[in-house]
Amino acid sequence: MPPIPVTINSINCQNNSPYYICNQNPSTQCPPSYNCPTTTTLEMDGFTVKLTAKARVVCGANYTIKLAVADASDQSWDSWVFLEAGSFRQINPVISNFNPFPNSVNDSTVQEGCSYANIKFTSDKPPIDTVDIFYTLGGTATNGVDYLFLPGVVRFDPGMTEKNVTIYPLVDGILEGDETVIITLVDTGCGAASGTSTYIIQDGSQFEVDVFNTRDTSTADSVLIPCDSIVTIRFDALVTGGTPPYRYEWYNQGMQVRSDSFYLADFQRDSNEVILLRVYDACYDSDSVDHVIWLIVDSCPEEPIDTIIPPVEPEEVIFPNTFSPDGDGQNDYFFFDHIEQFGRASIRIFNRWGALVYSSDQFELCGDGYCWDGRDQNTARDLPDGVYFYRLVYGEQNTVLSGQVTIMRHR
């Protein structure tokens, strides 16, 4: 508004009309375009639009407002002054909840290690100077322990009408149940009316992953592939806990092969397959599991045989499942007692990732130094303790035996 006096003669439908509101019925001065009302609720023939007076102040200091109303030339006209309630402050902010995380339960709920939420401070008008809005933090959650520390103050710069403060819940690994954060505005007299907002912090959800296939629900098994045939095996993921949706990554021999909740594959070779599944949940946590499966190709005999492993008397051949190659002279080598009575024997030993670590085509001659001493045949270094998988072929009928052995050193 220009610097003019507010009088009946200076603001009306002829002079400075953008600041005038007609309240006359019927109007004797204003044309029809002013849309003067047909009925009135106050005696006044006209009003000004809302006029704003601004001044720079120091929050907390005392100030005096002086208003003077006087007759200028005619005592017949009334003059009224209205002051807007609550207008003697810089800004009047309100608070509300807002959760930008796409998988959040609602705007008022956050989860440890996963989602976060914003306290939104909104003002209906921008401040003309910098204003600090103060708030208190209550509830059952502890500031700086259960969520990142909040200072209890948010600053509005000149011209700003909105400001966000973020609640980041912290992972503590303790099942505490739902905790609350209660934010309450503090009325300082310069800015911030009363207002309260409540948030709920939930415990984080851990999750586990397992794999099963159409032939066996265990984590390791053997599958006999018939002669000149293809075996199709379906691997399915089993996820418990976590925050859906989940993202799946299937790996076969180190290469990613699928990104769905299952993996369907065809096999036609004699090998040890290591199927790896890695799963990520909506909170970007992850878990993984190895699924080891032995694929054994059956030979093509002229006459059908009932089984690939002929019966062997248990007391004649001993198949150990553990040895301790620590140089103490006891159980330092992996071998099969009395295997030599069947003639030639060959063995292949793999680690859990399917890599060959030892092989021998004269394993029946263990007494002549052909036993496995727990070293990687490729590097001549001791292998770490753990489970290893072997494939033994022996006898005139090339009997195939698959199993596992554990290295367990005592030093």
Phi and psi (nearest 5°) for 148?
-55, 145
In whole angstroms, what is the distance from residue 374 CA to residue 382 CA? 6
Phi-psi group of 36: left, alpha or beta (phi > 0 → left; psi -120 to 50 → alpha; rest → beta): beta
Domain 322-407, CATH 2.60.40 — does that match? Answer: yes
In whole angstroms, what is the distance from residue 11 CA to residue 4 CA? 9
Domain boundaries, the chain: 1-88, 94-202, 217-297, 322-407
On whether the CB atoms of residues 388 and 377 are closer than 8 A, the answer is: no
On whether the CB atoms of residues 221 and 215 are closer than 8 A, the answer is: yes
Q: What pLDDT is stored for residue 315 in this prediction?
A: 46
Domain 94-202, CATH 2.60.40.2030 — does that match? Answer: yes
C-alpha distances in angstroms, 235 versus 4, 81, 265, 275, 377? Answer: 84, 81, 8, 9, 32
Say which DSSP state 157 is in: P
Q: What pLDDT is stored for residue 314 in this prediction?
A: 40
Residue-by-residue pLDDT tens, the chain, 411 positions: 667 788 878 888 888 888 888 887 776 678 877 778 877 777 787 888 888 777 777 666 777 888 878 776 666 667 788 887 666 666 778 888 877 665 566 778 888 877 788 888 888 878 877 888 889 999 999 999 999 999 999 998 888 889 999 888 888 778 888 999 999 988 776 665 668 889 998 887 677 888 877 664 444 456 666 666 777 888 888 888 777 778 888 888 778 888 888 888 877 666 666 778 888 877 755 556 666 666 666 666 555 445 555 554 544 677 888 889 888 888 888 888 878 888 888 899 988 888 889 998 888 887 656 788 999 988 889 999 988 988 888 888 888 888 899 998 876
On whether the CB atoms of residues 72 and 7 are closer than 8 A, the answer is: yes
On whether the CB atoms of residues 390 and 404 are closer than 8 A, the answer is: yes
Residue with tokens 């019927």: 26
Rg of the chain's alpha carbons, rounded to an integer? 42
Domain 217-297, CATH 3.40.50.720 — does that match? Answer: no
Q: What pLDDT is stored for residue 140 in this prediction?
A: 94
Residue with tokens 């910098």: 130
Q: What pLDDT is stored for residue 261 in this prediction?
A: 87
Residues near 371 by Cβ (< 8 Å), separated by ≥ 6? 333, 334, 335, 363
